Chain A
Amino acid sequence: MRIKVFFISAIVALGAFTSCRESAVEMEDPAVEVVSELRRVNRLSLAEMSINKVGTISDSGATGFASLLNMLKVGDRIGVYSYHTYLEAYMDLDALDAADLEVYQDRRLVKLRLPAIQVRLSGRDATVTEEHYRVTGMRSTISPVERAQLKELMNTTLRQELKSTDEYGERLRANAREKAVGYFSALLQMMGYDSEITFK
Chain B
Amino acid sequence: MIVAMKYVVKLIIYLVAILAIAGAGAWLYGKITGNPQENMQTGQARIDGIRQMVSLCTLEIEDDIALRDSIHGKWLLAKVRLSGQVRFDLEQLDCKMHGDTLVVRLPKETVVVREATSPGAYEIIDTWDNTLLGLGKLTTAEENTLKRRMTARYREEIYRRGYVARARSTAVATLRQLTSALPTPTVIVDP
Contacts and interface: CB of A to CB of B under 8 A. Distances in A.
Interface of A: 2, 5-6, 8-10, 12-20, 24, 27-28, 30, 34-59, 61-70, 72, 81, 84-86, 90, 121-128, 130, 133, 141-159, 161-162, 168, 171-172, 175-176, 178-180, 183
Contact of A154 (B42, B52, B116, B170): B42
A152 B121 CA distance: 8
A72 to B, nearest CB: 5
A64 to B, nearest CB: 5
Interface residues of B, number: 90
15 contacts: A13-B175, A16-B56, A16-B178, A17-B175, A18-B58, A19-B167, A42-B58, A53-B46, A57-B40, A64-B34, A65-B29, A72-B26, A128-B144, A148-B124, A153-B37
B178 A37 contact: no
Interface string B83-96: 10101101101010
A158 to B, nearest CB: 5
Contacts of B83: 27, 122-123
B103 interface: no
Contacts of B3: none
A103 B141 CA distance: 57
A58 B39 contact: yes
B49 A62 contact: no
A123 B174 CA distance: 28
A155 B183 CA distance: 51
B53 A18 contact: no
A19 to B, nearest CB: 4
A54 to B, nearest CB: 4
Interface in B16-75: 23, 26-27, 29-30, 33-64
A55 B95 contact: no
B27 A69 contact: yes
Contact of A30 (B46, B57, B118): B118
B54 A183 contact: yes
Contact of B124 (A20, A27, A39, A144): A144
A18 B76 contact: no
Contact of A51 (B48, B51, B62, B115): B48
B41 A161 contact: no
Contacts of A39: 59-62
B76 to A, nearest CB: 6
Contacts of B174: 18-20
B191 interface: no
Contacts of A68: 26
Contact of A66 (B38, B122, B138, B175): B38
Nearest to A167: B47
B108 to A, nearest CB: 13
Chain B CB within 10 Å, residue with most, of A17, A40, A141: A17
